[in-house]
Amino acid sequence: MENKLTPELQLRLYEYLTQFITENKRRKIEEIVKWRTRYLTLVLEDIYQPHNASAVLRTCECFGIQDVHIIENRNKYTVNPDVVMGSTKWMNLHKYNGKENNTPDAIRTLKSQGYRIVATTPHKNDCTITELDLEKGKLALVMGTEIDGISADVFEMADEFVRVPMYGFTESFNISVTAAMCLHTLSNKLRSSSLPWALSAEEQFDLKLEWARNILTKPELIEEEFWKQVQ
């Protein structure tokens, strides 16, 4: 018998796995999954400072952003475990690194998934982060390198541009600060709206099953025992 996860077997497997985690952790899974969203996603293009890269991931997880898209052109995206604090095991990271320039493929992939591309830049006066219209559809917020900002490809392929208001001499905020401010604004605005920002029931259940596995030390051994009982 193959290990095919029909909806009924998925539920049975989830109930079986969660016997081996604490009730408190199970409650957290059930509660946190309700706040997860894919209506808003973050795209990081060629970030090279590990501390900043890790801080952004931690911020995304705290704001319930389920997917982060990582473009690696010149710089490999390095995560600092002391900064992310385990946040990456609750998220889905999508990396684009098969070519010398992976930006066009990443942007086209996101657009094919229904995302409008909103690039952050202090150089194009389009709208502020508070003015950004969420009603127009789900969006992928793109942030570029710490020194140069977004690439020419993003600038050309973006649907919209957004900026964080600044009142000092310095040209831009640190990328982790920018991410935190943008996600705080957009997350609060999104969740107070009537937009369909939450995950579907199927997506929520798939995520609960994945999280239960991540909590367990050796989930494959527990699942092996489950399948023995099922068969």
For residue range 97-122, list pLDDT tens digits in order: 999 999 999 999 999 999 999 999 86
| Dist CA 85 CA 115 (whole Å) | 29
For residue range 182-228, list pLDDT tens digits in order: 999 999 999 999 999 999 999 999 999 999 999 999 999 999 999 99
| Dist CA 97 CA 73 (whole Å) | 6
Whether 173 contacts 166, CB under 8 Å: yes
Q: What is the pLDDT of residue 1?
A: 38
Q: Both 152 and 43 in a single domain? A: yes
Number of domains making up the chain: 2
| Dist CA 103 CA 72 (whole Å) | 8
- Its domain, for residue 61, covers 37-197
Q: What is the pLDDT of residue 166?
A: 85
For residue range 1-39, list pLDDT tens digits in order: 345 678 888 999 999 999 999 999 999 999 999 999 999
Q: Both 157 and 192 in a single domain? A: yes
Q: Which residues contact 208 (CB under 8 A, 6 or more apart)?
A: 14, 29, 30, 33
For residue range 123-179, list pLDDT tens digits in order: 666 899 999 999 999 999 999 887 778 999 999 999 999 988 888 888 778 889 999
Q: Which residues contact 83 (CB under 8 A, 6 or more apart)?
A: 50, 51, 54, 55, 58
The predicted model scores a pTM of 0.90
Q: Both 149 and 207 in a single domain? A: no
Q: State mean pLDDT over 71-91.
A: 76
